[in-house]
């Protein structure tokens, strides 16, 4: 049922950035990716069309992508060097600048819901590790055993990397040479004209020493205010150094750039020349969107006030 509101109620999702399959080779999971992104977009739209908030819509869509084994978030997260799934997520309410985030969680089934609980039910912004899992459990959020998060393809990917490291006999001190993408994110504009942004990820394959990426860091991988909402995906260390999400918001607010101009400037002219690859989705309070990326591809889905879902499923390998 399309909305009757004149406000440009909008929801935009990403399903990670990455490299493309070689031209001409089949992409067997294309339909599965399209279906998952469409389902997530429709879930967010269902919230917005009933007058729900942008925060609720972002959470509803990201929970679906977290529960899908296709993406590097929740179930399907990449493995750390220690062979465990450690997840990060953040959620920000642009209307109030309230924000919540978790990093390095292992047992909460939907890290984006834990991030929302931190925002709404604690006096903090970012909780980490076992404490964050404990908080989520105390808030009554669903937990899951390690087997829930473990997806065979991810496990094989991790084992192959362990073998390669063993053969080279010189493990790298970090995973920086083997970035793997597939994070999920959402930005939404509700009928009240309020924006929100959320991001959820398993982080980078083979990450060590409790590494935390940009996704749960407000201003780096996730940011929302009254002007625009931003969620990023890519090589997190670069997104942190360049404060990517806040930089885009600042360019739109202080310099009056469009979201397209601001996002392209940051992704293509600041982060990429420094060696950082990835992309962002950006939405402003008028419903304008931008989704630039410097990787070969980025999955996204967009749903407008009329309820029609548009997806971009390029011939990409989620790594
Ligand atoms: N940005 C995420 C991180 O560095 C990874 C990704 O986007 O896939 O943890």
Mean pLDDT by 10 residues, the chain (319 residues): 63 86 66 94 97 98 97 95 96 98 98 98 98 98 97 89 77 47 93 98 94 98 98 96 98 98 98 96 97 92 95 71
SS3 at position 114: helix
- Atom index in ligand 1 nearest the CA of residue 207 equals 9
Active site annotation includes 143: no
How far, in Å, is the centroid of ligand 1 from the Cα of 274? 17
User: What does the pLDDT read at residue 176?
Assistant: 41
User: What does the pLDDT read at residue 26?
Assistant: 59
- Atom index in ligand 1 nearest the CA of residue 278 equals 7
SS3 at position 140: coil
How far, in Å, is the centroid of ligand 1 from the Cα of 1? 35
How far, in Å, is the centroid of ligand 1 from the Cα of 234? 5
- Atom index in ligand 1 nearest the CA of residue 183 equals 8
User: What does the pLDDT read at residue 175?
Assistant: 42
Ligand 1, residues at Cβ distance < 6 Å = 16, 72, 181-183, 201, 203-204, 213-215, 221, 233-234, 236
Nearest CA to 291 out of 19, 62, 15 is that of 15
How far, in Å, is the centroid of ligand 1 from the Cα of 106? 17
SS3 at position 121: helix
How far, in Å, is the centroid of ligand 1 from the Cα of 87? 10
Pocket of ligand 1, candidates 111, 223, 236: which has the most ligand atoms within 8 Å of its Cβ, to mutate? Answer: 236
Domains for the chain: give ranges and CATH numbers: 10-169+182-312 (3.60.20.30)
Pocket of ligand 1, candidates 213, 241, 294: which has the most ligand atoms within 8 Å of its Cβ, to mutate? Answer: 213
């Amino acid at each position: 049922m399309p909305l009757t509101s004149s406000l440009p109620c909008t929801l935009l999702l990403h399903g990670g950035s990455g490299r493309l399959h070689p031209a001409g080779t089949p992409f067997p999971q294309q339909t599965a990716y399209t279906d998952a992104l469409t389902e997530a977009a429709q879930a967010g739209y269902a919230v917005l069309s009933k007058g729900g908030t942008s925060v609720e819509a972002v959470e509803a869509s990201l929970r679906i992508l977290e529960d899908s084994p296709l993406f590097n978030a929740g179930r399907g997260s990449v493995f750390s060097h220690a062979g465990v799934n450690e997840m990060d997520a953040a959620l920000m309410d642009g209307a109030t600048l309230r924000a919540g985030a978790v990093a390095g969680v292992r047992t909460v089934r939907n890290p984006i819901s834990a991030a929302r609980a931190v925002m709404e039910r604690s006096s903090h912004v970012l909780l980490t590790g076992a404490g964050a899992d404990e908080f989520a459990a105390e808030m009554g959020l669903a937990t899951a055993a390690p087997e829930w998060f473990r997806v065979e393809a991810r496990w094989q990917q991790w084992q192959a990397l362990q073998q390669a490291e063993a053969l080279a006999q010189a493990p790298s001190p970090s995973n920086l040479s083997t970035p793997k993408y597939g994070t999920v994110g959402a930005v939404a504009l509700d009928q009240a004209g309020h924006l929100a942004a959320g991001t959820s990820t398993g982080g980078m394959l083979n990450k060590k020493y409790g590494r935390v990426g940009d996704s749960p860091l407000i201003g780096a991988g996730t940011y929302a205010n009254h002007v625009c909402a931003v969620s990023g995906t890519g090589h997190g260390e670069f997104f942190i150094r360049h404060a990517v999400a806040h930089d885009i918001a600042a360019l739109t607010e202080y310099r009056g750039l469009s979201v397209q101009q601001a996002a392209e400037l940051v992704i293509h002219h600041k982060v990429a020349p420094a060696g950082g690859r990835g992309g962002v989705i950006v939405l402003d309070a008028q419903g304008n969107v931008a989704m630039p990326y410097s990787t070969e591809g980025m999955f996204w889905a967009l749903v407008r006030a009329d309820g029609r879902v548009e997806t971009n499923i390029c011939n990409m390998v989620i790594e």
